């Protein structure tokens, strides 16, 4: 499993809980449960970086009240 890709899901959880993680999965097309099944390429990392910027923007004013 790519630690870098997993870190994106960890960050998403910090800023918006499960909803932000779901949004990240939707934007990247790669749920956290499948990270270990794909080759970690520069293209995938770029997809995650781009998606993470969007998630941060969408959740910037939300408070993480989801403990999951």
pTM: 0.86
Please state, in angstroms and rounded to a whole number, the distance separating the CA atoms of residues 35 and 37.
5
Instruction: Tell me what pLDDT residue 24 has.
Output: 98
Query: Residue-wise pLDDT tens for the chain (68 aa)?
Result: 588 899 999 999 999 999 999 999 999 999 999 998 998 899 999 999 999 999 999 998 876 555 44
Instruction: Tell me what pLDDT residue 68 has.
Output: 47
Long-range contacts of 34-40 (CB under 8 A, 24+ apart): 35/1, 35/2, 35/5, 35/6, 35/9, 36/1, 36/2, 40/2, 40/4, 40/5
Instruction: Tell me what pLDDT residue 66 has.
Output: 53
């Amino acid at each position: 499993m790519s630690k870098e890709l997993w870190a994106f899901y960890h960050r998403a959880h910090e800023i918006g809980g499960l909803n932000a993680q779901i949004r990240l999965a939707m934007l990247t097309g790669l749920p956290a449960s499948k990270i270990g099944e794909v080759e970690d390429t520069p293209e995938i990392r770029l997809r995650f970086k781009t998606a993470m910027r969007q998630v941060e923007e969408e959740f910037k004013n939300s408070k993480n009240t989801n403990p999951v």
